[in-house]
Chains A and B, each alone.
Chain A
Amino acid sequence: MNERRREVLQMLAAGKITADEAEGLLAALEKQSPPVAGSAAEVPAKTKAKYLRVVVDAAKSGELGGPTKVNIRVPMQLLRAGVKLASLIPPQAQIYLDDALREKGLTVDLSQLKPENLEELIDGLNDMTIDVDDKDAKVAVFCE
C-alpha cells in the first residue's frame, strides 16, 4: 500500500473526508499509478505460440505390433508461409482445384484462403489442445 493511499485512508479514519470523497481520491490514484509487478491488476501479455506439436504414442502398430512414438514440431512461421504460398495459386488453377475438391466432397473456396485470415486462426491456436486417447494410441496436438 503506497503512501498516498495510506494518507487517504488516514484522512477518512480521522473524519476529514467522507467515504465518497475517499473513493474518488483512491480511484484517481489508481489511474495515475502504473500497475505494480505481480499485482492482480497487471494482465500478462499473451505470448504467441511458436510451434505446432504433434505427439503420437501408439502401443501397438505395424505387423510386428511394437510400440511407435512420433514427435513432430513444426514452426508456426512455416504454416503462415504455406498459406501465403497457397494464395499465389493463379485464379484459373484455383477453379480447377475447387472443382477437384468438390468432387471429393470438400466444398472449399481457395480464393478465400488469405494470409490475414490465417493470422486470426493462428492466434486462436494458442489455446488449442487436441487429445485423443484410445486403448492402442494416444494423440496430442497442441501449440507451444
Chain B
Amino acid sequence: MTTLPSTVAGTWLLDRFCGEPAVAGDLLQEYRGGRSALWYWKEVICAVCAYSAWTIWEHKWLTARAIATGYLFSWLVIRTIMRDIVHPWWDSVAPPVLYPLIAYVPWMVNGWIIGRLHRPYSTAMVSAYAVWLVFRSIGPVYGAAADALAGVQGSAFLWEFSSRLSTVLVMICGGTLCAYRDQLLAGKRPPSIRTAHA
C-alpha cells in the first residue's frame, strides 16, 4: 500500500514533533478510511500542539533553561559577534545584499544547540523558544504596523514582519534537524540499546 502524498508531510511532522508513534498510524488509518484532508490536518496540528504543550508544562525548568540558552546565544553570537564584527567585515569584502544569507546561519545553529542540550525533549523546547521569539516580536511588529497604517515615512513593517518570521522558521529548522539526526541515530542502534534509552 502506497503512502498518500498529502499525508507524507503530516506523518513527517508527527514523527518529529509528537512523542507517540501510534498517533501517526491512527490518523493515517482514519484518512484512508474516508476522513477528509481538512480533518487529517486539524488532527495533526492538534497532536503536535498537545504534545508540545504537555511537555513544556511537565518540564517547566527545562523550558526556562531552553529559553535562557537561546537568549544567551542570540545575545552573545547574533547581537555581539555577528552585528559588531562579522557584519562590518562582510560589508567590506562582499555585497551587503548577500549578508542575510549568512545572518540566518547563527539562528539555525541556535535552534540546533537548544535541541542538542535538551534531549529527549528537543522539539518541545525548540517550540518553547519559538513561542518566546514570537512573543518578543509582537511589540516591534505591532509598532511597525501602526507606523505603516499612520503613513509614517520609512516604516519598515514588511521587513520587520518577514525578517522576524524567517528568523523563527530558520531557528525551528535548526532544532528539527537536530531532532531528526537523533532519530536517525536511534534508528541505527540495535533494538536492545534503543529499548534501554527509551
Our verdict on whether A and B bind, yes or no, reads no
